[in-house]
Amino acid sequence: MRVAALQTVSSADRDDNLRRARRLIDQAAQAGAELVCLPEHFAFMGHQDTDKLAIREPMGQGPIQTQLAQAARESGVWVVGGSLPIEVPGRDDVAFNTSLVWNPQGECVARYDKIHLFEFDNGQEQFNESRVLRHGSEPVCVDITDRQGQVWRTGLSVCYDLRFPELYRRYAEQGADLLLVPSAFTHTTGQAHWEVLMRARAIENQCAVLAAAQGGWHDNGRHTWGDSLVIDAWGRVLNRLSQGEGVVLADLSWEAQTQCRTQLPALRNRRL
């Protein structure tokens, strides 16, 4: 299956971000991608945490969801909206940070609310997503069928989830073949930990990993790490993009993944 991680440098202009996202989706589809994944916060990077509340959408409605459904349908590809703010019923002061999956018919077939909310303070940079975001509670797998009819069981996650291996082990236990990690890692934490965590999640669970990232300087002054990656089940980086907007394409081989699991049956050899 040919997959694409779409890297963005999103701004506080939602409509411009959506135009750029559509251009990247079309570019990936024209290059033969069957599954495309956008980063966390692809549609909006505000100047303060509360800004995202102004663009939150009810589930199933709103310009972000409408445009991604249309892109999936018109391009004939699976589209993963890395994350967008979705309303919490009865609350106007918080939102879910939600990843949504559309099939090539433009139907939304999966929803994952980010479980682990980022908190970081090194004295110079401070982040606490729980001020405006609500924790999700349920891991979510979705079956993605490629053009050869092969079904890839896919585990959904978002950014900071990457640091919690128990989530991905749960997906492996549920038969996952592919892990999605749309992200907006800070430059500080990405430089230290991004690649090693991504490769570890692939190796320990013998799953391919598709990680679409924000990558560059944003108009709010934030610097995101980027380095969007596609990694195979052996832990090999198949393709990457360090910084800037672009498309990261790679071909995932079902045969190679099966061979990896057959030659080294680590999941079957677990004792705990």
Which of 52, 57, 114, 245 is flagged as catalytic? 114
State the amino acid at position 81 in one-letter form.
Answer: G
Catalytic-residue membership of 40: yes
Nearest to 65 by CA among 52, 56, 74: 56
User: With b meaning 16 or more CB within 10 Å and e meaning fewer, what string describes 127-154?
Assistant: bebeebbbebeebbbbebebeeeeebbb
Catalytic-residue membership of 52: no
Catalytic-residue membership of 114: yes
Which of 52, 57, 129, 159 is flagged as catalytic? 159
Residues 6+ apart with CB under 8 A from 112: 98, 99, 100, 136, 138, 139, 140, 156, 157, 158
Q: Active-site residues: which are they?
A: 40, 114, 159
